[in-house]
Chains A and B, each alone.
Chain A
C-alpha cells in the first residue's frame, strides 16, 4: 500500500507558464516533506522542503504548499524553464525516525 502517491506520471508545460506537481500522503505522522529533482544518469538533488508547522515555503521560482487536512503537497514552478525538465520526486518522513518514503515521481517536460 503506497503511503506517498504522485498520481501524474508525466506533465508537459509551455516555457514561461506555471508547473504544478502534486503529491498525496496517507499518514498524518509525517511532518517533514521534501521535493527532489532528478536528471537522467544523475542522482536526485534536493530542491525545497517544508515542515508541518508551515503551509508554504518559497525559494526563488519554486514554492511548496502543504495542506495537512487534505494530506496533500504541491510544488509550483513559475516561470517554468526548459532546464526544469526532469523527474520530480516528493519525499516524506517523521521527525525522530530515519526512513524517508518517496513517491513514484512525475516527469516534467517544459516545452520551448
Chain B
C-alpha cells in the first residue's frame, strides 16, 4: 500500500537551476495538492488540483508550476530556483475531507 509517493527525498540546487518534484498516488483520489513547510510557518498551500487537467493556485504559488495530466501524478516544477524556496515540500491527496501526505522532499537552494 504505497499511498502518496514523493521523489526525490533530498535535493540540493544552485540558484537559477530548475527541477521537478514528483508526486504519485495510487488511491485514485481526484484531489491532489502541494504544501511547503517552513519553520514557524506551518504548512502553506502552493498549488492544488481537483482532477486531471485542472489546477489552481494556493497561498504561495509564485515560482512554482504544476500540471495534472493523469489522476495519479501531480509534479511540482521550479523553473528558476531561489534560496527562498529552500523548504520541505509535501504532496497530499484527499479523500472524504481527509488529506493523505507523502513523506516529504527536502530542497536546499544555494
The interface of chain A, by Cβ under 8 A from chain B, is 4, 6, 9, 32, 34, 36, 41-46, 49, 89, 91, 93, 98-105
Contact of A100 among B45, B50, B102, B103 (CB under 8 A): B45
**Count of A-B contacts judged by CB separation below 8 Å:** 58
Assess the B98–A34 pair: CB atoms within 8 A: yes
| Most A CB within 10 A of own CB, among B58, B97, B98 | B97
**B38 smallest CB distance to A (angstroms):** 10
The answer, yes or no, to whether B19 is at the interface (CB within 8 Å) is: no
- A99-B59, A104-B41 known; A41 and B104 CB under 8 Å? yes
Assess the B101–A45 pair: CB atoms within 8 A: yes
Q: Which of B22-79 contact A (CB under 8 A)?
A: 31, 33, 35, 40-45, 48, 50, 56, 58-59
9 A-B residue pairs with Cβ-Cβ distance under 8 Å, sorted by A, are A6-B42, A32-B97, A34-B98, A42-B104, A43-B92, A43-B103, A49-B98, A91-B43, A104-B40
Residues in A whose Cβ lies below 8 Å from that of B103? 41-43
Complex Cα–Cα for A31 and B37 (A): 24
Interface residues on B, range: 20 to 34
The interface of chain B, by Cβ under 8 A from chain A, is 4, 31, 33, 35, 40-45, 48, 50, 56, 58-59, 90, 92, 97-104
Residues in B whose Cβ lies below 8 Å from that of A99? 45, 48, 58-59
Assess the A102–B44 pair: CB atoms within 8 A: yes
- A99-B58, A103-B42 known; A44 and B101 CB under 8 Å? yes
Complex Cα–Cα for A99 and B9 (A): 25
Assess the A43–B101 pair: CB atoms within 8 A: yes
Contact of B42 among A45, A49, A104 (CB under 8 A): A104
Assess the B90–A98 pair: CB atoms within 8 A: no
Assess the B50–A98 pair: CB atoms within 8 A: yes
